[in-house]
Amino acid sequence: MSRQFFLFERPRRFVAGTVGTPGERTFYLQAADDARVVSVALEKQQVAVLADRLEQLLDEVVNRTGTALPAIDWDTEALEQPVDEEFRVSAMGLAWDGDQGLVVIEAQAPAEDVEVAEETLLEDVEDGPDALRVLIEPRRARAFVERARKVISAGRPPCPLCGQPLDPAGHICPRQNGYHRGATLGA
């Protein structure tokens, strides 16, 4: 199957963001350059894992090269509108391009064949699932991590007993044997 392959080298913008209210948010990765904007949907946990792995990769680059990564202000703007979902992410890849000094992030759509998906991740092939590949400078990758963590933490607060998200009306807490737990402590 011929795939759509969205490549952004040093895009004007690469961010994680959401659409919707806490509890009903859809998470997106969005890459933008002068001519186009590409948005792919993913799960909150995928954003968290990407931020964690990206931070580990950047720390490893600093340790190996001895080069500090200057901080830049992270992007606080909303996602660019309209947010048109190209695909839902099923797999992600992360790499360091030492020749260019860039971080490579790839998000891939689901594939019918798991073997094909594994073979095409971070590879330049014509067939396979749709993919978004972004190459960014390390300092911009650090800014991505900061924003991603802010986006994740902007959701519903966790229940102090079970850790599940609290809706404004509370939730059925497994730590209270299925009794309803209010959104405020002691409720």
Percent of the chain's residues with pLDDT above 90: 59
pLDDT of residue 73: 84
Does residue 184 have a pLDDT over 60?
no
Comma-separated ranges of CATH 3.30.2450 domains in the chain? 5-155
More confident residue, 183 or 138: 138
Q: Cα separation of 30 and 38, whole Å?
A: 6
SS3 readout for the chain? CECCEEEEECCCEEEEEEECCCCCCEEEEEEECCCCEEEEEECHHHHHHHHHHHHHHHHHHHHHHCCCCCCCCCCCCCCCCCCCEEEECCEEEEEEECCCCEEEEEEECCCCCHHHHHHHCCCCCCECCCEEEEEECHHHHHHHHHHHHHHHHCCCCECCCCCCECECCEEECHHHCCCEECCCCCC
Across the chain, what does the average pLDDT equal?
87
pLDDT of residue 186: 44
| 0.85 surpassed by pTM | no
Read off the pLDDT band of 121 (50, 70, 90). confident
More confident residue, 162 or 76: 76
pLDDT of residue 179: 57
Read off the pLDDT band of 20 (50, 70, 90). very high
Q: Is 3.30.70 the CATH classification of the domain at 5-155?
A: no
